[in-house]
Homo-oligomer: A and B are copies of this chain.
Amino acid sequence: MLIDALRTRLHADCLIVDADRIASYLHDEAEWAPHGTAAVVVRPRTPEDVQAVVQVCVAEGVPVVTRGAGTGLSGGANAVDGCVVLSTERMIRILEINPLERLAVVQPGVVNDELRAACAEHGLWYPPDPASSPWSTIGGNVATNAGGLCCVKYGVTRDYVLGLQVVTGTGKLIRVGRRTAKGVAGYDLTGLLVGSEGTLGIVTEVTVRLRPAREPEHTVAGYFDSIVDAGRAVEAVAAAGLTPSALELVDRHCLRAVDDWKNMGLSVDANVVLLGRSDAPGPAGIAEAEAMVRCFESAGATFAVRSEDPEEAEALFAARRLAYPALERLGPVLTEDVCVPKAAVPEMLARIEAIGVRHHVHIANLAHAGDGNLHPLLITPPDDPDQRRRAQAAFEEIIADAIALGGTVTGEHGVGLLKRHGLAQEQAPDVIALQRSIKAALDPHGILNPGKVLPD
C-alpha cells in the first residue's frame, strides 16, 4: 500500500526498497541510540516530491524520518519500524548566492563545506562550522541548530537562517521567514523550525544570511598539565573581556588518536591543549591573540604562544576537527554535549574527570571551551556490556552535574533520542507540555519523526 502509493507520486528511481540498501539509512552516528527498520527509503529531488511523500504518509498513517548526511550524534535521524526514511541526498543545489543582499539559498542536502567554499568565491562567509562540516548538510545543520568552532563569537545556525521552505505535517508546502535584513511579520516560525529535528516540518529550502569574508585569524596555543587549569584559562579569557573567534580544548587522548591515525606529529608534552583564535582586523587581532596568551599563562599554562606559522596553526585546528572520527576508531564513543556557564567550566571539567575515575570509564575531552560547550567522549571497548553499563552511568552523572551547575544537556547536538531523558530533567513539566502542544498543532497526525526530542 505505502510503496504503491509512493510509486504513483514519485519517479521510480526515488525509491529504495532493497533491505540491504535500506540498512545504511537507518541511523546516524549516535552509536548507542536504538533504531528500527524502515519500510522504504525515498530520495526526493524537488520540494514537490517531499510534499508528495508527506501526503502519502498522512494518508497511510506512516511516520517519516528525515535525514541529511547522517552525521548526527543524538539519534535524531534514527528510523522507527515501518517508517519512510526521507534522505535529502539528491537535493544538493545551491540556488543563489547574492553578495549584495548577503544571503544564499540552498537545497537542504548541500554539504556545509560546499556552501562555505561557494560563498568564499564571492568574498562571503557562512559562519556555522560544525566539526562535521566536510560531510554534514545544511538541512541537517538547520534541523539540529548546529554549532561549531566559530560560535563563540559568531553564533549558531539559527542566527543565520533567514527563511525556510517547508513541508508541514499536513503536507502543505509553505515559505516562512524572509529575504530582507529585518522582519517581524507574525510569529517566528523560522526560528521555531530550526532545531526541531524534523519533528515539526521537513525543510526543502534554506535561505541563510552571510557575512563578508574575514581577515586571516591569529592563532594561539597553550599547554596545560591539568584540564582544570585549562578551564581556568577559559574563564580568564572571558573575564578579560576578550572575544576569541575560536577557543577550543583538546586533550592528550584526542591528540594521540589523531596522531595514530593521520601521523600529523602532534604529540605534545601536555595533558591538555587550548587553541584560541582572534579575527579582529589589523593590529587589534595580534593584540587580542597576545592578550589570550597572557590569560593562558596566568592560569598556569606550561607553555603558551602566538603561532606565527599559518601551516602549524592550521594543523592544530585540523587535528581538532579530526579528533572525533579518530576516537571512533578506538571503539564505540558515547558523546556528551553539555553546555555550562563559563564560570562553571573549571568545576565541570573537574567533575567529568572525577566521574571517569569513579566509574572506571575512559573519557577523552574535546570542548568548544570558550562557550562552555563540553564534549566528554566516553570510549568503550566493543562488546563489553559491563563497561557499557558503567559508561551509561557516567553519562547520566555528567548530565545531572551540568544541570546542577546551571547548564543544559545539549549545547549543539540536539536532543534526538539520547537526551530525551535529560530534557525531562532540565525542563519543568509545564515547559515540556507547552512543546507537546506545539508539536500537536504543527504535526496533528503525529507522523513527523515521532519519538524524538520530547520525552514520553
Contact = CB atoms under 8 A, between A and B. Distances in A.
A267 interface: no
Given A188-B158, A195-B184, A195-B188, A123 B411 contact: no
A235 interface: yes
B241 A123 contact: yes
Interface in A411-443: 411-415, 419, 422-423, 426-428, 430-432, 434-435, 437-442
A309 to B, nearest CB: 24
A181 B158 contact: no
A101 B409 contact: no
Interface of A: 99-102, 123, 144-145, 147, 151-152, 155-156, 158-159, 168, 172, 174-176, 178-189, 191-192, 194-196, 200, 211-212, 235, 238-239, 241, 243, 280-284, 339-343, 368, 370-373, 406-415, 419, 422-423, 426-428, 430-432, 434-435, 437-442, 453-454
A119 B194 CA distance: 30
Contacts of A101: 238, 341-343
B185 A426 contact: yes
A377 B264 CA distance: 63
Contact of A408 (B185, B368, B453): B185
Nearest to A339: B180
B411 A186 contact: no
A415 B184 contact: yes
Contact of A174 (B145, B189, B426, B431): B431
A434 B183 contact: no
Contacts of A179: 341, 406
Given A434-B442, A437-B441, A407 B180 contact: yes
Contacts of A426: 185
Contact of A188 (B191, B281, B368, B428): B191
Q: Which of A428, A438, A454 has the most CB of B within 10 A?
A: A438
Contact of A414 (B156, B178, B184, B407): B184
A423 B415 CA distance: 34
Contacts of A370: 181
Given A186-B454, A188-B194, 17 more contacts: A99-B241, A100-B239, A100-B342, A101-B238, A123-B241, A159-B159, A174-B430, A180-B340, A182-B372, A188-B192, A189-B434, A189-B435, A281-B282, A281-B284, A282-B283, A434-B441, A438-B442
Contacts of A180: 339-341, 371-373, 406-408, 411
A17 to B, nearest CB: 32
A304 to B, nearest CB: 21
A407 B183 CA distance: 9
A100 B187 contact: no
Nearest to A195: B184
A178 to B, nearest CB: 5
Name the 7 nearest CB pairs between A and B, nearest first.
A181-B371, A191-B191, A437-B441, A183-B408, A281-B284, A182-B411, A441-B441
Given A430-B168, A430-B174, A431-B176, A373 B184 contact: no
Contacts of A175: 428, 431
A435 B187 contact: yes
A175 B428 CA distance: 8
A439 B184 CA distance: 16
A408 to B, nearest CB: 4
A30 B384 CA distance: 68
B152 A181 contact: yes
B342 A182 contact: no
Nearest to A103: B341
